[in-house]
Amino acid sequence: MDALKSGSRLEKVLKAGHFAFTGECGPPKGANVSHLKEKLAHLKGVVDAVNITDNQTAVVRMSSLAASAIMVGENLEPNYQLVCRDRNRLAIMSDILGAYSLGIRNILCLSGDHQKFGNHPEAKNVYDIDSMQLIALVKKMRDEGVFPNGEEIDEPPRLFIGAACNPFADPFEYRVYRLANKIKAGADFIQTQCIYNMDKFREFMKMAVDMGLCEKCYILAGVTPMKSVRMAQYMAAQVPGMDVPEALINRLKAAGKGNYAKEGIKIALEQIEEFKEMEGVAGVHLMAIEWEHRVPEIAEQANVLPRPEV
Amino acid sequence: MIIADRKPLEEILEMIQGSKKILILGCKGCVTVCNVGGVKEVEVLAATLKIARKKEQNDLEIHQKTIERQCDPEYIDQVKDVVGQYDAVLSMACGVGPQFLSEAYPEQKFFPAVNTEFMGGAVTHGIWEERCAGCGTCVIHLFDGMCPIARCSKSLLHGPCGGSAAGKCEIDPDVVCIWDMIVKKKMAQGRLDDLLEIRPFKDWRTARDGGPRKSIREELT
Ligand code: SF4
């Protein structure tokens, strides 16, 4: 990791050895730019980059490309999410080039939730390539300056390549190898699924460290504060690949009505404290879903402010 | 083989609404094996339609016939004396049947009485599962006898995705995550290394994406 690959703020923060802090924002279900800007305003100066989700859970929203570009205009750094569900390799490559030309410098390569979960389950899915191949594609375009067919790219996209990792999906024993594969494919940084089962995550990170993965790639631990007992129960039961221990749900319940959100944030803060010390963890990715306005106080209490100058 | 399912009765009734005399044409190929379009099913559909139309006081004359295959001109030829006499012919073969018939007998109206679903087999009596997507470039050997193109909901070549839980696919707890099975078999048999490579993009030209396909065997033409 010598010269900068993209020159993004996130890359510089990580490269300088700072503990990174990234946020997340879902584009509007419409073309409401002012609402998007409002949500983004809460995150300004509070996080190093903001993930802009790409039709998350297969629900149609403003494109992540457009929302990311709007964000660039607001002087905030996007982490542009791109899923393989909705586009073939032609569309993917042209979106990558378009993203770079609009000033986007970070990309998160995902397969995407199946359209069955979304609001247009009748849709045809694409999956021309998968997330592993998407990572390799961006790397090839960036580092070799060519398309997969060997044709040269007139000004290659210099992007900082991100990938997702869910240590809580099955089979657990394989997850660290899949992570290794993503790093081999070209991932510069990883953002994990929301972590609630800390024991399992510790075990996972130990394996990742032992395999030397954390020297090749920056791993950002995913944190989503629980807003309510209902949210915790929903995630535990309804979201495939999400591991919410019973003890956490009980702890929220014990906090009593009216205090769930406060307790949820407290739990998140404890996690962040532990991640700061955990070997191999290079930062935190805070996915405060529809809770952008609470991010500044969480960042404040987590002692990650001010964000470093890079 | 090709697996099909009979269309709902209402849909078939609607297709033949204005007809007084119809032929139901079965096929002794795949649809007989998967119990949807053979001699027996032709009989059942005939009886069902008869009753339904009787109720509407709109009697229907139904003839029945089942031929060897509806995907072969040689057998399609066998109905040349009867087609033309009917207001409608309901084919109970896969989607190939009504098309081969329509091509051979342009004056006759043919309707599909089944929905053609997938290529698969019976995993147990009465339950069929998809096994092949007909992509035109078989890769089953790379995945220890399991095809992720046909059987992973996202056709991933590097699974399992983050939604795989307890051996089931994220789309439905009744759907097996084929990637869970591939990984477990590879790990149990000491072939984890197979999975630690980045596979090239799939060439979809041999699949339906390359346009309608044709197979020519020179020695037979
Ligand atoms: S859960 Fe398994 S079968 Fe379903 S999409 Fe993911 S990898 Fe494919």
Tens-digit pLDDT profile for residues A203-216: 999 999 999 999 99
Report chain A's C-alpha Rg in angstroms.
19
- Tell me the nearest-neighbour CA distance from A33 into chain B, angstroms: 31
Instruction: Give the long-range contacts of residues B122-125, CB within 8 A, separation 24 or more.
Output: B122/B34
Residue-wise DSSP of A107-137: EEEE----GGGSS-TTSPP--SS-HHHHHHH
For residue A289, what pLDDT band results from cuts at 50, 70 and 90? confident
Atom of ligand 1 nearest to the CA of B164: 1
* A12-39 mean pLDDT: 97
Q: Is B42 in the pocket of ligand 1 (CB under 6 A)?
A: no
- Ligand 1: residue whose CA is nearest its atom 5: B153
* Domain A9-301 part of CATH 3.40.50.300: no
Q: How far apart are CA A263 and CA A285, in angstroms?
A: 19
Partners of A121 on chain B (C-beta within 8 Å) are none
Contact A128 B204 (CB under 8 A): yes
Phi, psi (rounded to 5 degrees) for B76: -60, -35
Q: Is A200 on the interface with B (CB under 8 A)?
A: no
For residue A2, what pLDDT band results from cuts at 50, 70 and 90? low
* CB contacts < 8 A (A, B): 101
- Residue B36 CA from chain centroid, whole number: 11
Report domain extents, chain A: 9-301
Longest Cα–Cα distance of chain B, Å, equals 69
Contact A181 B162 (CB under 8 A): no
Measured between CB atoms, which of B159, B171, B201 is closest to A89? Answer: B201
For residue A240, what pLDDT band results from cuts at 50, 70 and 90? confident
Burial (0-12, 13-18, 19+ Cβ within 10 Å), B184:
middle
**Chain segment A54-75, per-residue pLDDT in tens:** 999 999 999 999 999 999 999 9
Neighbours of A262 (CB within 10 A): 12
Q: How far apart are CA B117 and CA B25, in angstroms?
A: 19
- Tell me the nearest-neighbour CA distance from A117 into chain B, angstroms: 7
- Ligand 1: residue whose CA is nearest its atom 7: B160
**Chain segment B158-186, per-residue pLDDT in tens:** 999 999 999 999 999 999 999 999 999 99
What fold, for B2-118?
Answer: Rossmann fold (3.40.50)
- Which pLDDT belongs to residue A287? 97
Residue B139 near residue B147, CB atoms below 8 Å: yes
Q: Is A177 on the interface with B (CB under 8 A)?
A: yes
Instruction: Give the long-range contacts of residues A292-296, CB within 8 A, separation 24 or more.
Output: A292/A23, A292/A25, A292/A39, A292/A40, A292/A42, A292/A43, A293/A42, A294/A225, A294/A265, A295/A23, A295/A42, A295/A43, A295/A46, A295/A47, A296/A42, A296/A46
Contact A177 B167 (CB under 8 A): no
Q: In whole numbers, what is the pLDDT of chain A averaged over residues?
A: 97
Report domain extents, chain B: 2-118, 133-209
Q: In what order do the strands lie in the sheet with B88-91?
A: B61-67, B21-27, B88-91, B110-112
* A242-249 mean pLDDT: 97
pLDDT at residue A267 is higher than 80: yes
Residue A48 near residue A23, CB atoms below 8 Å: no
Q: Is B165 in the pocket of ligand 1 (CB under 6 A)?
A: no
Question: Which tokens hold the place of B28?
Answer: 């002794």
Q: Is B172 on the interface with A (CB under 8 A)?
A: yes
- Tell me the nearest-neighbour CA distance from A158 into chain B, angstroms: 22
Q: How far apart are CA A21 and CA B163, in angstroms?
A: 25
pLDDT at residue B1 is higher than 70: yes
* B199-216 mean pLDDT: 97
Burial (0-12, 13-18, 19+ Cβ within 10 Å), B188:
exposed
Neighbours of A299 (CB within 10 A): 23
Contact B187 A173 (CB under 8 A): yes
- Tell me the nearest-neighbour CA distance from A244 into chain B, angstroms: 13
Question: Which tokens hold the place of B68?
Answer: 């060897």
Q: Is B177 in the pocket of ligand 1 (CB under 6 A)?
A: yes
Q: Closest Cα partner for B85 from B117, B57, B61, B111?
A: B61
Question: In this predicted complex, what is the ipTM?
Answer: 0.96
- Bridge-partner residues for B160, per DSSP? none
pTM exceeds 0.95, yes or no: yes
- Which pLDDT belongs to residue B174? 95
Q: How far apart are CA A180 and CA A201, in angstroms?
A: 16
Mutate to test the pocket of ligand 1, among B146, B158, B164, B175 (most ligand atoms within 8 A of CB): B164
Q: How far apart are CA A129 and CA A109, in angstroms?
A: 11
Question: Which tokens hold the place of A186?
Answer: 């070209």
- Residue A181 CA from chain centroid, whole number: 18
Q: How far apart are CA A264 and CA A276, in angstroms?
A: 19
Residue A263 near residue A229, CB atoms below 8 Å: no
Contact B198 A85 (CB under 8 A): no
**Chain segment A158-192, per-residue pLDDT in tens:** 999 999 999 999 999 999 999 999 999 999 999 99
CA closest to A85 among chain B residues: B154
